[in-house]
């Protein structure tokens, strides 16, 4: 009986997609950073690395740490990916770019560049497509809708929160998510 349960679990994990693994929002309360955004991205990165085990648990299943400030060169320019993980369930690299503040189209373009670079220069033939996650404090729905995020299966923008929301804030967020899902369903039905 236990073997059957284990086989069922493995079979389910083999069918997981990035949408099943990538969370939104992430609750980073364990970092003990100020609840306002009076800190720099390097402070956020340092706090995450200092509490890496907690962060990996917040990320979800299958994450293995690969690198911090992973440098790569494109012609004469150096670029740095904030955090690189490998997900052994999805069998792919996960690139994380940290943003203190709201998501911008420049952030999306930067992550798209990183993912495309990894696709052509780092990943192997046995790896699945690279995933990029932009962790930001706010997402602008219009920027998401009219950017590569809207169509891409490999790029994600996830909000992070430095504390658990109150019951009232949580109810508002759930209502906003419900409206967004209904809007997406309506848009898909008209396409």
Q: What is the pLDDT of residue 128?
A: 94
Residue 173's SS3 state is helix
- Altogether, the residues listed in the chain come to a count of 191
Nearest to 161 by CA among 2, 26, 13, 19: 26
CB contact at 8 A, 166 and 174: no
Q: Sort 30 into a burial class: Cβ within 10 Å, 0-12 / 13-18 / 19+.
A: middle
Model pTM score? 0.62
The β-bridge partners of 65 are 85
Q: What is the spatial distance between Cα 92 and Cα 94, in angstroms, rounded to a whole number?
A: 6
DSSP-derived 3-state class of residue 132: strand
Does residue 110 contact residue 98 with C-beta atoms inside 8 Å?
Answer: no
For 97, phi and psi rounded to 5 degrees?
-110, 125
Q: Is the peptide bond before 100 cis (omega within 30 degrees of 0)?
A: no
What pLDDT score does 114 carry?
Answer: 93
Using CA atoms, how far residue 64 sits from 56, 87, 96, 122, 157, in Å, is 8, 6, 13, 16, 20
Residues of the chain with pLDDT under 70: 1-15, 18-19, 21-27, 30-38, 148-152, 160-165, 191
Note the pLDDT tens digit of each residue in 115-153: 999 999 999 999 999 999 888 878 777 777 777 665 667
- Chain mean position to CA 91: 16
Q: List the Cα angle 126/111/181 in 5-degree steps.
A: 95
Strands 26-27, 63-74: parallel, antiparallel or unpaired by DSSP?
unpaired
In the prediction, which pLDDT does 92 show?
93
């Amino acid at each position: 009986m236990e073997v059957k349960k284990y086989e069922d679990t493995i079979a389910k994990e083999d069918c997981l997609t990035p949408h099943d693994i990538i969370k939104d929002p992430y609750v980073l309360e364990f970092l003990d950073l100020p609840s306002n955004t009076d800190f720099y991205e390097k402070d956020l990165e340092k706090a995450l690395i200092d509490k890496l085990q907690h962060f990996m648990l917040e990320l979800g299943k299958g994450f293995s740490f690969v690198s911090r400030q992973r440098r790569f060169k494109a012609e004469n320019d150096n670029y740095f990916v904030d955090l690189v993980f490998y997900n052994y369930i999805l069998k792919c690299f996960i690139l994380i770019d940290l943003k203190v503040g709201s998501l911008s189209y420049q952030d999306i373009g930067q992550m798209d560049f990183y993912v495309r670079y990894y696709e052509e220069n780092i990943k192997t033939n046995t790896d699945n497509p690279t995933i990029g996650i932009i962790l930001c404090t706010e997402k602008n729905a219009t920027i998401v809708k009219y950017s590569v995020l809207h169509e891409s299966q490999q790029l994600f923008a996830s909000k992070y929160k430095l504390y658990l929301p109150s019951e009232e804030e949580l109810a508002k967020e759930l209502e906003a998510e419900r409206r967004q899902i209904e809007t997406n369903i309506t848009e898909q039905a008209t396409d």
